[in-house]
Amino acid sequence: MQKITPFLWFDGKAEEAMNFYTSIFKNSKIVSIMRYGEEGPGQKGTVMGVTFQLDGQEFMALNGGPQFTFSPAISFFVNCETQQEVDELWEKLSEGGEKQQCGWLKDKYGVSWQIVPTVLGEMLNDPDSAKSQRVMKAMLQMDKIDIEDLKRAYESK
């Protein structure tokens, strides 16, 4: 068991969200589904909470009700090695949600994600500040991150 596990609060859609997320990420699985019993507080047999893994990272989710909602103040940062991976995750996770600037998106459950190619961090951390600033400027013009456009900005003079 990992020491720190993200715990998500849903309003009745924990199982649906789990199924959605595990269908998108490789190396993912449903670990468990807990249901309310006789004592409640939910209706007997309905889903109370779920545990699942996305690419080996464990998550827990609760059907806690409408009291709390998600905010972009907390997001899941996904490192992608290829443009194909960026494109696939961007399209699947944003379906029914909202595409945003600089690789951010909000999925149909309101959860915020950052779909980012690993090379972006490498370019932004380049010791040549002119290169890193060109990359930053290019990224700020993007919604979904485009690796080739980043490379062009990085290599330009």
The structure's pTM equals 0.94
Domain extent at residue 9: 1-67
| Total domain count, the chain | 2
Pairing relationship of beta strands 29-35 and 7-10 according to DSSP bridges: unpaired
pLDDT tens digit string along 61-115?
999 999 999 999 999 999 999 999 999 999 999 999 999 999 999 999 999 999 9
Give pLDDT tens digits for 52-66: 999 999 999 999 999
Answer for the pair 100, 111: CB distance below 8 angstroms, yes or no.
no
Domain boundary among 21, 38, 67: 67
60 in the same domain as 74: no
Check which CATH number belongs to the domain holding 126 and give it: 3.10.180.10
List all residues 6 or more positions away from 78 whose beta carbon is below 8 Å from its beta carbon: 89, 113, 114, 115, 116
Closest CA to 85 of 55, 57, 122: 55
149 and 81, same structural domain? Answer: yes
